[in-house]
Structure 1
């Protein structure tokens, strides 16, 4: 292994570039729908050896070494994100005549931007690099911080953080309840990098032992937590509620065709009144996916009347819809990506608007700045959405509350506020039809189910083309419907919740992990320098 490590470190030119991109790309197999987490051992082992060889120009000093390390991290990140986000281009093919020109920006430009964070991580780690286990700690801490930064810088896009690769199944998801995705990512990078020690002289025993113990704790904690799952569902009154989730499987191109509106609406109503499945009782709540209603409900009283006809007495419909708001005389109305709660009398009794919109999909960020620079054609976006100023909870008859997460809001763990503790369940409605038959829907589904684990609540997830499911507070699928299937899910959830760590606690534990790893990295670096002198 030492000989192999030496060859990797001494690579230069195109072979070095190609290996860095390959190391990142192969790691994408750890993510859904593949879930081969072992590939990350190869990815990060190669990354460590490549950073070992980032010596920069002779006589160039620390700045040259940091630039060299940044380049390796960027290439690694570029390979990783192209391999796991290539499907972004599929959304632009839905209206190819209008947006096909932007496919290179989605498939290559987004990964190129996200790779900057991994480049910064390797550069930061290289500043505290040593020849033993300390460099693994430096890399883990730096990647944890990079993933955290990726969650909010320039509106944030924390899709496919490394930690998700370490949590393919519920047994391996439970650590997320304590450390959050960023803490898990930091420790995962340390563990996945550990085989690199086999190619170096120092730190083998202590580093590999630490990695094995961390991996064992990760799995062992998951096994213990799942074993006592029923005992831990102790908070709340345990009231049972039956849910029906409608998965209508409406093709995205069809949704964009105005002539299909009535047909689409009636298809949702037909599935709503379909016979019960799996021996469940009559549903209390029916859930339709994001933007299911193909027109402005408040302007169509006949549509509300049709909903009232289909719903039985006491049932409610929770549906994604577009909400309009009059902005005043002579001003175009504002539109919101929203969720309505509609009772069996056809009355809208609660609503919530999307807070975190998709950049360039639902709105144009920094539009006024771009326009001032004369960039107008690229930012033209008629009919975009307005973001809500704050998140509203959905109130059901009887006073129960749902915490709404519309579409990709479910990938932002730190945006779920403390008011989630007052709710009975999380609700995620989405339309992943834009993604097509790609890894996108599977990746989105995994990230959403981790929010259930973190918050100790059931997750009700309705997706137009899938994956729809009811997820329990431990990330287990109670009942689901796969991608590209039409039908309904009937399942019962409990308002009881897991006595869990708060989001604030997870953030503190994340920074504690980063601090401890940083101490190890600095101590190793100082020891390394003293021995070198």
Structure 2
């Protein structure tokens, strides 16, 4: 390890960048659903050692965009290529030119996101010192960079470093205290402690090992506290609602021209009315039938009989909650990716329009330019899709208020809308069939589970091809369907918790940690120059 530390500090040029690219790729093995947490403790020390050996430029811009920037960028590039590789599965759906540009698109996206990490390490190096506090300096600026990439330019907070510390039910409970951004701060700090062991620099083994052993104790304490919370928290089941979740595996989502609306409705209704046993009352025993995102790959105007058929199939007082495209009849513009609530009279009694759209997925930035190369947004729909008016509760007759979240809206920690405190559960419909065969669906599902823990809310999740499941407000999966399984799942959500520390104070602890880290970074850097 002394050899590795010295090599990382002394390496220059392409050798240093290649080493950091590999180190970042190794660190990415800690993400969901792999959760190889020791990989963080291998990758991050290399980053610290490389910054130890980074040349200092004299000008401010030279120091900001010089070697330290390139070090963080290379490390981030390796991390994000591995973390986001599963996005390439969507390119195989359309085939043709999309497959040819897939590797370039993945690398370009990884490089774009890695700019945040490059800026984070560059700022950290402005305050760099040779004391042990330098790992706190790195933690402060890199976790701030993670927050920035989750919020700026529409935000893309997939695979935040904090998710590495949520690999099981016990570890996940810490999200109820500080959220995933707080866990990101903790993950970087803990994973950097091996950098203080090597090289020796004349220090005793006890002094060198103490921070690492403290990191191990922190993780042990996290697991112990999580186990205590799971065993001591009482979770009560609701009595006023029962949902039937349908996992239809509808593949017409990618090409509406292949969809025959009458056939799609028939498949959905037949599956919805299935009796799983002789004693199963079928739809007579549920209050809400749930069809996931993209289960209706057409506008209702293309098949006006749809509402009438749904009305005939629904027993009295049963409401259908379905993912469906909604046309902008008033303005004649792009459609909406929506949740429609349809009662047994065939009336649309409520709706929610997705407000946080996926770039290149549901709308195409710089559409005029990309269309010249035959590139369009992945999700079919004329003129792209329009964003709704923000996250909000859905309120239906005889239904507890719930927070409607469509697809990747569930990955935005602390940004689920102003009314989240009034919601009784999180209702998440999604279509991850674009990424079947990759780790993407499991990764996306895990992010949604962490939202349940943060907010202390049950999570009802209906996915087109998986993963469909129910969690309690502690994030534990209590019922689920297997990926690619065409089937149904009858679930009763539990009661929400009174509240979690994170739901009350949001980013407060994270902000305090950043301010404290910044103060210590400034003091340690001044002491190093004294």
Which residue in the other structure is 2:39 paired with?
Answer: 39
Which residue in the other structure is 1:295 paired with?
Answer: 298
Which residue in the other structure is 1:440 paired with?
Answer: 440
CA 1:275–1:180: 2 relative to 1, 3 Å: same
Q: Does 1:216 align with 2:220?
A: yes
Q: What is the Cα deviation at residue 444 of structure 1?
A: 0.5
Q: What is the Cα deviation at residue 105 of structure 1?
A: 4.1
Q: Does 1:92 align with 2:87?
A: no
Q: What is the Cα deviation at residue 478 of structure 1?
A: 0.8
Deviation string, structure 1 residues 137-188 (Cα, Å, up to 9, x no partner) = 1111112111110112111111101111111111111111121111110111
Answer with 380-389 or 45-54: which moved more. Answer: 380-389
Q: Which runs of 5+ in 2 are unaligned?
A: none
User: Any conservation in 1 of the 2:252–2:259 contact (CA below 8 Å)?
Assistant: no
Q: Does 1:317 align with 2:312?
A: no
TM-score (norm 2): 0.91
Q: Which runs of 5+ in 1 are unaligned?
A: none
Which residue in the other structure is 1:249 paired with?
Answer: 249
User: Any conservation in 1 of the 2:80–2:113 contact (CA below 8 Å)?
Assistant: yes
Answer with 286-295 or 448-457: which moved more. Answer: 286-295
Q: Secondary structure at the match of 1:49?
A: helix
Separation in 2 of the partners of 1:501 and 1:292?
37
User: Any conservation in 2 of the 1:276–1:490 contact (CA below 8 Å)?
Assistant: no
Q: Does 1:521 align with 2:512?
A: no
User: Any conservation in 2 of the 1:272–1:310 contact (CA below 8 Å)?
Assistant: no
User: Any conservation in 2 of the 1:240–1:495 contact (CA below 8 Å)?
Assistant: no
CA 1:217–1:516: 2 relative to 1, 3 Å: farther
Which residue in the other structure is 2:125 paired with?
Answer: 126
Q: What is the Cα deviation at residue 69 of structure 1?
A: 1.2
1:53-452 maps to which residues of 2 (within 5 A)?
53-56=53-56, 63-64=62-63, 67-97=66-96, 99-200=98-199, 201=201, 204=208, 207-230=211-234, 233=235, 238-251=238-251, 256-276=256-276, 282-297=285-300, 300-328=303-331, 332-365=332-365, 367=366, 377=372, 382-452=382-452
Q: Secondary structure at the match of 1:466?
A: coil
Q: What is the Cα deviation at residue 64 of structure 1?
A: 4.2
Answer with 497-506 or 438-447: which moved more. Answer: 497-506
User: Any conservation in 2 of the 1:277–1:490 contact (CA below 8 Å)?
Assistant: no
CA 1:280–1:176: 2 relative to 1, 3 Å: farther
User: Any conservation in 1 of the 2:29–2:39 contact (CA below 8 Å)?
Assistant: yes
Separation in 2 of the partners of 1:280 and 1:38?
47
Separation in 2 of the partners of 1:205 and 1:380?
53
Q: What is the Cα deviation at residue 79 of structure 1?
A: 0.6
Deviation string, structure 1 residues 16-41 (Cα, Å, up to 9, x no partner) = 22210111111222122322111111
Q: What is the Cα deviation at residue 503 of structure 1?
A: 4.2
Q: Secondary structure at the match of 2:275?
A: coil
Separation in 1 of the partners of 2:98 and 2:344?
41
Answer with 113-122 or 25-34: which moved more. Answer: 25-34
Answer with 425-434 or 411-420: which moved more. Answer: 411-420
Separation in 1 of the partners of 2:239 and 2:518?
46
Separation in 2 of the partners of 1:289 and 1:375?
30
Separation in 1 of the partners of 2:398 and 2:340?
16
Q: What is the Cα deviation at residue 319 of structure 1?
A: 0.6
CA 1:395–1:255: 2 relative to 1, 3 Å: farther
Q: Report the aligned-residue RMSD.
A: 2.6
Q: What is the Cα deviation at residue 340 of structure 1?
A: 0.8
Which residue in the other structure is 1:12 paired with?
Answer: 12
Q: Secondary structure at the match of 2:22?
A: helix
User: Any conservation in 2 of the 1:290–1:429 contact (CA below 8 Å)?
Assistant: yes
Q: Secondary structure at the match of 2:197?
A: helix
Separation in 2 of the partners of 1:167 and 1:279?
39
Q: What is the Cα deviation at residue 62 of structure 1?
A: 8.6
Work out the number of aligned pairs and report it: 517
1:464-475 maps to which residues of 2 (within 5 A)?
464-475=464-475
Separation in 2 of the partners of 1:110 and 1:214?
34
Deviation string, structure 1 residues 283-326 (Cα, Å, up to 9, x no partner) = 22221111212222366442112222322222211110000022
Separation in 1 of the partners of 2:420 and 2:514?
26
Separation in 1 of the partners of 2:123 and 2:256?
46
Answer with 244-253 or 37-46: which moved more. Answer: 244-253
Separation in 1 of the partners of 2:191 and 2:502?
27
